[in-house]
Structure 1
Amino acid sequence: MDFKKLTNPVWDRSDNLRDPSIYKTDEGYHLFYSRYSNKDWSRPENWAIGYAFTKDFIHFEKDRDISAKGFASPGDLIRWNGKYILPYQSYPETPTMLCYSVSEDLIHWSEPVFFLEEARYLPWNQAERVIDPTFVVDGNRLHCYFVGTDRKHYERATNLVGHAYTDDPELKNWTITTVDRPLIGASETAPDGAENVTVYRIQDEWIMIYSEGLLEQHLAYSVSKDLINWEQKGKVEIEAQNWIAVRYGAPFVWKEADTWMMILMGEDSNNHTTFGLLSSEDGIHWQMLKEK
């Protein structure tokens, strides 16, 4: 399809659309997202995992919730042992925990299966909460990036990124590589940390783009050879547009022929969140689609 014909934001609803994730098939694009309604962040009934299907990012159909209320932040949909697995989290009731659902057809989804519960008790995860799972398959190994929170040792609540992997087909036994300290923590450009990781491979190097900061959220990126050791590269510069006037984050990246595509959540001056698209020839430098 010709993405140059599209304009940002590509999808705007009365609900606040958050945390997009794309799974591309021959038929089109399966879009998973957090549906946030009624402007009350604290109530579980205002949160659910939403799903829609599109062939062109103009017409969105089959829009529905695929989870019960009280869940959010879908990560990368993967194929694992012949089935589709979608990671997400319980939210906002405490303790927030990681979970996944299983499907054989991208239509019917299992009840949530909770996993990696030991990440709640990492010494740097002071709030004992785990959110924002991202799955990355590398051969027979599954990596999971996740976010914990410290509300005690910083000026404000600070989100910190951790990492674990498993070789277990049942996803029960995990090795956490970030026991003593997080993979990504607070920094000068993001004193309140990071969240919402997306990871993809360019030749022999892995790229991670993530939401840096909470109050003044933007994008940053890191690179790795092994998915465990990462070198932070700094901010991802993107064009200012009205639909991201307040902040932007929760990126998801996929490959489209010879072009990399990113779907992004943006918050406008009315504090409404929508989805827009960016493109890149090299997977590092990004250009916005034109704005409506």
Structure 2
Amino acid sequence: MDFKQLRNPVWERSDNLRDPSIYKTEEGYHLFYSRYSNKDWSRPENWAIGYTFTKDFVHYEKDRDISAKGFASPGDLILWNGKYILPYQSYPETPTMLCYSVSEDLKYWSEPVFFLEEARNLPWNQAERVIDPTFVVDGDRLHCFFVGTDRMHYERATNLVGHAYTDDPELKKWVITTAESPLIGASKAAPDGAENVTVYRKQDEWVMIYSEGLFEQHLAYAVSPDLIQWEFKGKIDIEAQNWITVRYGAPYVWKEEECFMMILMGEDKNNHTTFGLLSSQDGIHWKMLKENKSH
């Protein structure tokens, strides 16, 4: 399809749309997201995993919730042992935990199965909460990036990124490689940490893009040969547009035939969140689609 004809934001609703994730098939694009309603962050009934389908990022159909209320932040949909698995989290009631649902047809989804519960007790995860799962399949091994929180040792609540992997087809036995310290912690560029990781393959290396900072959120990236050792490269500069006036984050990247595409959550001056698209020839430097001038 010709993405150059599209205009940002490519999708907006009366609800706040957050945490997008794309699964591309021959038929089109399956879009999973967090549906946040009624402007009360603390109530579980205002959160759910939403789903819609689009062939062109202009017309959207089958928009519905695929989870019960009280869940958010869908990660990378994967094929694992012949079934589709979508990771997400319980939210906002404590304890906040990681879970996934299973589907055989991308239409009907199982009840949530909780996993990696031991990540709540990591020494750097002071708040004992686990959010923002990202799945990455590498051969017979499944990697999971996740986020914990420390509300005690920093000036404000700080999100920290951890990593685990499993060779278990049942996803029950995990090895946490960041048991003693997080993969991404607080930094000068982001004193309140990081969240919302997306990981993809670029030739002979892996690339991670993530939301750096919470209060002044932006994008940053890192590269790795093996999904374990990472070299952090710093901030990604992108063009300013009205739909991202306040902040932007929660990136998801996928590969088209001629380029990489990113779907991004942006917050405008009215604190409403929508989705827009960026493209990249090399998977590192990103260009916004043109903006709808009426937005």
Is the structural similarity TM-score above 0.5? yes
2:270 paired residue number: 270
Spell out structure 1 runs of 4+ moving beyond 3 A.
none
Partner of 2:123: 123
The root-mean-square deviation of aligned C-alpha atoms, in Å, is 0.2
SS, match of residue 119 in structure 1 = helix
1:219 maps to amino acid: L
Distance 1:239 1:213 in 2: 18
Q: Show the counterpart of 1:19.
A: 19
How far apart are 1:95 and its partner, in Å?
0.4
**Structure-2 separation of matches of 1:241 and 1:28:** 27
Q: Structure 2 regions of 5+ residues with no counterpart?
A: none
2: CA distance, partners of 1:132 / 1:99? 10
Q: Deviations over 1:5-60 (max 9, x none)?
A: 00000001000000000000000000000000000000000000000000000000
Query: Alpha-carbon deviation of 1:166?
Result: 0.1
Q: Aligned runs of 1:124-163 on 2, under 5 Å?
A: 124-163=124-163
Quote the residue 2:245 is aligned against: 245
Superposed displacement of residue 234, structure 1: 0.1
Task: State the one-letter code of the partner of 1:97.
Answer: M
Q: Secondary structure at the match of 1:4?
A: helix
Structure 1 counterpart of 2:54: 54
How many angstroms does 1:258 deviate by? 1.4
* Map of 2:284 onto structure 1: 284
Q: Deviations over 1:142-184 (max 9, x none)?
A: 0000000000000000000000000000000000000000000
- Structure 2 residue 79 is the aligned partner of structure 1 residue 75: no
- Distance in structure 1 (CA, Å) of the matches to 2:256 and 2:203: 15
Q: Distance in 1 between matches of 2:228 and 2:243?
A: 34
Name the structure 2 match of 1:91: 91
Instruction: Map Cα deviations across residues 173-227 of structure 1 (whole Å, 9 max, x no partner).
Output: 0000000000000000100000000000111100000000000000000000010
> Which SS does the other structure have where 1:265 is aligned?
strand
Q: Which letter maps to 2:142?
A: L
When normalised by structure 2's length, the TM-score is 0.99
CA-to-aligned-CA distance 1:123-158 (integer Å, 9 cap, x gap): 000000000000000000000000000000000000
Structure 2 SS opposite 1:45: helix
SS of 1:31's equivalent in the other structure is strand
Secondary structure, counterpart of 1:161 in structure 2: strand
Amino acid at match of 1:18: R
Q: Secondary structure at the match of 2:120?
A: helix
Corresponding position of 1:187: 187
Alignment-derived partner of residue 114 in structure 1: 114
Give the Cα–Cα distance (whole angstroms) in 1 for the partners of residues 243 and 103 of structure 2. 33
Taking the aligned partners of 2:234 and 2:188, their CA distance within structure 1 comes to: 11
Work out the CA distance in 2 between the residues paired with 1:231 and 1:147: 19
Q: Distance between the aligned counterparts of 2:57 and 2:216, measured in 1?
A: 28
List per-residue Cα deviations over 1:217-241 (Å, max 9, x = no partner).
Answer: 0000000001011110000010000
Q: How does 1:222-261 map to 2 (within 5 A)?
A: 222-261=222-261
Counterparts of 1:12 and 1:166, CA distance in 2: 37
How many percent identity over aligned positions?
86
Distance 2:229 2:119 in 1: 19
Using the alignment, how far apart are the partners of 2:259 and 2:205 within structure 1? 17
In the TM superposition, what are the counterparts of 1:38-49 in structure 2 within 5 Å?
Answer: 38-49=38-49
Question: 1: distance between equivalents of 2:204 and 2:175?
Answer: 24
How many angstroms apart in 2 are the aligned matches of 1:60 and 1:17? 14
Secondary structure at the residue paired with 1:170?
A: coil
